[in-house]
């Protein structure tokens, strides 16, 4: 008969450290995704110096699809066969790689940058509410309070970065941006729901980008046929490649994985970190000045994230 040995103190400590690493991993991956996505406005600004917005939308999705095809071939990842899973994949692909980029681009053209950023600041709330609707679980008071605190920080950042309301802010433009935010947040939830069904985050992202490419490819062909072929320098093309590979593929793979492992309701508030990383990258890359007011706004955002995580 084998003697049962009680775990030593060192064994207990090692097990405790391993247990702590599991919930920390989704948070670390989420933060890295927010850094990548936070760089998206900087890359977009660099790309728009030579390319029109609609062309950027097409290029970033189509190029991402071109990268995803060999990755799927090498890894052998196949799309889901279950009808429900295929529907979730189609929804995730359509809203994340087609509807959101197009709707947001046209909406931002018809409203001010300040209004656009303010509306997109509600993405964590929209994502959490979509998750609550799907799972039929209402957010708790800590989650709601933390989001309110973070939104105060977002308001400070938006007010300072705006430096004046450039361009007419129309109601139609605001509604289009809001529609894009509501759509993409539902896509986040749909993509996260695929992982428990046996569909990996990489499969969701790669096939989502490929489906988005199939949808947008005719639009790209039309743009080229109309004589609107892109002519850009190395910096603009580098920015487009960053949007295609890092934002559309790496960011989504990591984000869907983190949503599944860490929980949608718990990970969604971390999206409030995205404007913080964008703010810092804009200061480093574009030379924008970081003021005390912006630092205070960042502190509110971080505080709100801490409160939601505590809940």
240-294 pLDDT tens trace: 899 888 988 888 888 888 887 888 777 877 777 777 777 777 777 766 566 676 6
| Of the ranges 34-38, 62-66, 122-126, 192-196, the best mean pLDDT one | 62-66
**What percent of the chain lies above the pLDDT cut of 90?**
10
Any idea what DSSP says for residue 283?
H
Confirm if 124 and 265 have CB atoms less than 8 A apart.
no
Query: Mean pLDDT throughout 9-16?
Result: 52
| Least-confidence region, from 53-57, 227-231, 263-267 | 227-231
Is pLDDT at 45 greater than 90 in this prediction? no
Q: How far apart are CA 168 and CA 171, in angstroms?
A: 10
Instruction: Kindly report the average pLDDT of the chain as a whole number.
Output: 78
Q: Note the pLDDT tens digit of each residue in 90-144.
A: 999 999 899 888 887 777 667 665 566 666 767 777 887 788 888 887 778 888 8
Residue 41 reports pLDDT greater than 90: no
The pLDDT, as a whole number, for residue 162 is 46
More confident of the two residues 198 and 213: 213
Q: Is residue 175 pLDDT above 70, yes or no?
A: yes
How is residue 294 written in tokens?
Answer: 């912006």
* Range with the poorest average pLDDT among 30-34, 74-78, 197-201, 296-300: 296-300
Q: What is the pTM of this model?
A: 0.71
Higher-confidence position of 88 and 14? 88
Sequential DSSP letters for 23-83: HHHHHHHHHHHHHHHHTHHHHHHHHTTTS-HHHHHHHHHHHHHHHHHHHHHHHT-----SH
Instruction: Tell me the two tokens of residue 260.
Output: 């599944």
Q: How confident is the model at residue 164 (pLDDT cuts 50, 70, 90)?
A: very low
First to last CA, the chain: 47
Lowest mean pLDDT among 161-165, 233-237, 291-295: 161-165
Q: What integer is the mean pLDDT of 287-304?
A: 72
Report in angstroms the alpha-carbon separations of 188 from 5, 210, 220, 259, 262.
Answer: 46, 17, 25, 8, 14
Residue 19 has pLDDT above 50, yes or no: no
Q: What is the pLDDT, as a whole number, of residue 86?
A: 92
Amino acid 109: pLDDT: 67
What is the DSSP-derived secondary structure letter of residue 6?
P
Which DSSP helix (H) or strand (E) runs through 213? Answer: helix 201-225
Report the pLDDT value the prediction gives residue 90, as an integer from 0 to 100.
93
pLDDT confidence of residue 154: 72
Percent of the chain with pLDDT over 70: 79
């Amino acid at each position: 008969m084998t003697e049962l040995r009680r775990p030593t103190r060192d064994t207990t400590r090692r097990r405790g450290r391993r247990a702590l690493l599991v919930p920390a991993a989704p948070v670390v991956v989420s933060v890295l995704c927010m850094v990548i996505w936070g760089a998206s406005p900087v890359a977009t600004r660099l790309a728009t110096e030579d390319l029109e917005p609609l062309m950027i939308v097409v290029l970033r999705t189509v190029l991402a699809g071109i990268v995803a095809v060999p990755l799927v071939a090498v890894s052998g990842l196949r799309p889901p066969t279950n009808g429900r899973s295929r529907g979730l994949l189609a929804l995730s692909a359509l809203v994340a790689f087609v509807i959101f980029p197009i709707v947001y681009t046209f909406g931002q053209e018809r409203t001010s940058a300040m209004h656009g950023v303010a509306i997109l600041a509600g993405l964590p709330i929209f994502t959490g509410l979509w998750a609550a609707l799907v799972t039929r679980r209402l957010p708790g008071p800590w989650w709601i309070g933390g989001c309110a605190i973070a939104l105060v920080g977002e308001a400070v950042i938006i007010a300072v970065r705006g430096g004046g309301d450039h361009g007419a802010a129309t109601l139609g433009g605001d509604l289009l941006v809001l529609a894009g935010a509501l759509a993409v947040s539902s896509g986040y939830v749909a993509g996260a729901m695929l992982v428990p069904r046996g569909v990996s985050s990489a499969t969701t992202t790669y096939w989502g980008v490929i489906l988005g490419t199939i949808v947008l490819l005719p639009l790209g062909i039309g743009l080229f046929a109309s004589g609107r072929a892109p002519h850009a320098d190395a910096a603009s093309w580098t920015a487009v490649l960053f949007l295609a590979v890092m934002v559309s593929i790496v960011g989504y793979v990591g984000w869907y994985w983190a949503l599944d492992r860490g929980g949608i309701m718990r990970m969604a508030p971390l999206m409030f970190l995205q404007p913080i990383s964008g703010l810092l990258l804009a200061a480093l890359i574009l030379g924008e000045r970081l003021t005390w007011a912006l630092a205070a706004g960042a502190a509110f955002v971080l505080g709100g994230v801490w409160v939601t995580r505590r809940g």
